[in-house]
Chains A and B, each alone.
Chain A
Amino acid sequence: MYTEISLENLRENKLPHIWCAGCGNGIVLGAILRAIERSKIDKDKIVFVSGIGCAGRSSGYVNFNTLHTLHGRPLAFATGIKLANPDLHVIVATGDGDLAAIGGNHFIHTAKRNIDMTVIVFNNFTYGMTGGQVSPTTPDKAYTTTTPFGEIEEPMDISYLAVASGATYVARETIASPFVLEKYILNGIMHKGFSLIEAVSSCVTEFGRRNKLEDPAIYIKWLKDKSIPYSKTNALSVKDGIVVGEFINVEKEEFTEKYYEMVKKVRNEERD
């Protein structure tokens, strides 16, 4: 099934966007917008929250209630929004540095709470906005502006961490398969609880330039070639490959509902 991107959901007067030609962010944002369209949720009830970085700029381009927060903090802002008004649908767009480095603590704890929101992390293996520094997900030996001799830290697996932290829907796909990505995002939006979709994206300008991937098409092919379906590995994380698929999709009590049920209960008891 093919869904058009509804122009209504874009702030056309804010376009063109600031992203470089060939950047994968547009593909991810397209998948998010198509998924939102298919979800049929009331657009006035959507709050689109983002952090800081190239991915974080996405909130400026979409026509919902939008909040461009601080570096690393989008999930904490989102927690406040959802808890204050559970009728709102909270969608968060974040980068790998934003979510897993400076925002790592919020990431773990928001997943642990299983609070209802959908987080789409644009994982491009680097800090694009600040000019291509190393990120928690930078692959082994890769060159970045702060690893001029190649990365020596083991990369962090965001999806793995999300599952371990208590997220109840986690999936990963690359921009080489935008429609699968779209499906996962839709599943995430329809899922009640904390859902995280890791969208493995490209940064041709910063990461690509330093790692022989400056050509957008070659970059996407590289991502496709490295992709291994989850059904074939049975391991969420493998060395030198990108395991793609739906990793977890379970139902568990959602935090906001649990909270308001408690409120109802204690208020009734107090009246007795």
Chain B
Amino acid sequence: MKEVVISGNEAIAYGAIYAGCRFFAGYPITPSTDLAEKMSYLLPLNGGVFIQMEDELGSISAIIGASLAGKKAMTATSGPGFSLMQEGLGFASYSEIPIVVADIERVGPSTGIPTYPSQGDVMQTRWGTHGSHPVIVFYPSSVYESYKLTVEAFNYSEKYRTPVILLSDEVIGHMREKVRLVEDLPVIERLKPNVSKEEYLPFDSRYDVPPIANFGEGYRFHITGLTHDETGFPTSDPEKAETLIERLHRKIYKNMDDIGKFEAFYTEDAEYLIISYGATARGAKDAVIELRRKGIKVGLFRPITIWPSLELPLREIADGKKVFVFEMNLGQYVLEVERILKRDVVFFGKENGELITPEEMESCIQKSL
């Protein structure tokens, strides 16, 4: 167990190596670049491949190819680059290729403020592609969690044959903390077929998550981004299209007990509930402690799984409480909270490159007492 002082982005790199990632393709963009730089060093030393591609479209395409050839693969980017990756993300979701994408947010819209934090990609991670497919998105709130969630991101991508997005922000990405790089976390490998070549169906609908062969292992199969049937070949049959899209949803939503992660901090006796994630949630914790000291019963619900939404736990924990949502954007996750709770909540957000301070949160809550 190594004890080190590293940044959140470096922790993602160490987590990736630990999880068995042996392929990284990326294009530099602040504030994700140091993650790529770390991988360019760690991968060759671990027998893996790092390649700086010509752009983000190429980066995500290359990692999909690498995954099909049998390597655990990832890329890292920030807002504008993430937008360019949407096309590839849709492909990987639909053709069920395990990959991990780290999006270290910066201020937007457009090129925004590259070196300042934001949480403006929350909706982009969910709805950035066209069509209807689920996504898994994790959001760490510390350097250690960046490490651990990266390992889990790879595990979930392999287990559910799907892209997993690791959403982080400039603050979490660049802050340094002393962490123990725990080395007894489980590592999951993709399920491989054990049927004959003739019997193999890359999209076998008898499974929620069909086993996937690697290219070169003798199973000659077809992968396409077009709507496909169980064999992997294009079809425009509405029934087959439905079977596929239903299974894609089923394999994720049926397993929310496994996928849904959150932290509940002082929520049991709380009358007021803050909902906040990532860097913002760190300030929210301070606000909770400070307000509790003043005798105000506040708790914090911190989604770690940002998508799919934590509908059940959120409903349970928010029950009977006045809810406040704080995020570094002008209202994204709050829309989901309102949808789930079916009532108004108090929202405070900014996207000017500044963190929301605990004092701002306290006064927001005190104002509505």
The answer to whether A and B assemble together is yes
Identify the A interface with B (CB < 8 A).
14, 43-45, 47, 49, 59-60, 63-70, 72-73, 76-85, 87-88, 105-106, 108-109, 259, 262-263, 266-267, 270
Q: Which residues of A contact B65 (CB under 8 A)?
A: 49, 67, 76-82, 84
Task: Write out the residue numbers on chain A whose beta carbons fall within 8 Å of the beta carbon of B45.
Answer: 266-267, 270
Residues in A whose Cβ lies below 8 Å from that of B87:
70, 73
Closest Cβ of chain B: how far from A15's Cβ, in Å? 12
Some 7 contacts from A to B, beta carbons below 8 A apart, are A43-B220, A67-B222, A79-B53, A80-B23, A80-B69, A85-B214, A109-B54
**Shortest CB–CB separation between residue B60 and chain A, in angstroms?**
8
Task: Determine the distance from Cα of A69 to Cα of B60 in the docked complex, in whole angstroms.
Answer: 12
Q: Which residues of A contact B47 (CB under 8 A)?
A: 263, 267
CA distance in complex: A87, B218 (Å): 13
What distance in Å separates the Cβ of A194 from its nearest Cβ neighbour in chain B?
A: 14
B225 interfacial by beta-carbon distance below 8 Å: yes
Q: Which residues of chain B are within 8 angstroms of A73 by Cβ–Cβ distance?
A: 57-58, 61, 87-88
Neighbouring B residues of A14 by C-beta, 8 Å = 233
**CB < 8 Å: which of B44, B64, B217, B223 contacts A262?**
B44
Known: A66-B220, A68-B223. A83 touches B23 (CB 8 A): yes
* In the bound complex, CA of A64 to CA of B45 (Å): 33
| Cross-interface CB contact of B64 among A59, A80, A267, cutoff 8 Å | A80
Q: Indicate if B49 sits at the interface (CB-CB under 8 A).
A: yes
Are the C-beta atoms of B61 and A88 separated by less than 8 Å?
A: no
Contact in complex: B54, A106 (CB < 8 Å): yes
Binding site for A on B (CB under 8 A): 22-23, 25, 44-45, 47-49, 51, 53-55, 57-59, 61-71, 73, 87-88, 91, 214-226, 233-234
How far is it, in angstroms, between the C-alpha of A106 and the C-alpha of B23 when the chains are bound?
18
Q: Give complex CA distance A14, B235 in Å.
A: 11
Contact A76 B233 (CB under 8 A): no
Main secondary structure of the interface of B (DSSP, over half): mixed
* A70 in complex: contacting residue of B61, B67, B219, B233, CB < 8 Å: B61
Please state if A267 and B215 are interface contacts (CB–CB under 8 Å).
Answer: no
Q: Are A67 and B68 in contact (CB under 8 A)?
A: yes
Nearest Cβ on chain A to B263's Cβ, whole angstroms: 36
Residue of A66, A84, A270 touching B69 (CB-CB under 8 A)? A84
**In the complex, are the beta carbons of A105 and B54 less than 8 A apart?**
yes
Verify A47–B62 contact, CB threshold 8 A. no
Minimum distance in angstroms from A174 CB to a CB of chain B: 29
Chain A CB count within 10 A is highest, among B67, B69, B218, for B69
Q: Given A73-B57, A267-B45, are A80 and B25 neighbors across the interface (CB < 8 Å)?
A: yes
| Given pairs A66-B220, A82-B65, 15 additional interface contacts (CB within 8 A) | A66-B222, A67-B65, A68-B222, A69-B61, A70-B61, A70-B87, A70-B88, A76-B59, A80-B23, A81-B68, A82-B69, A84-B66, A85-B71, A106-B58, A263-B49
Known contacts A84-B65, A267-B45; is-contact A60 B234 (Cβ 8 Å) = yes
Partner of A65, one of B53, B216, B224: B216
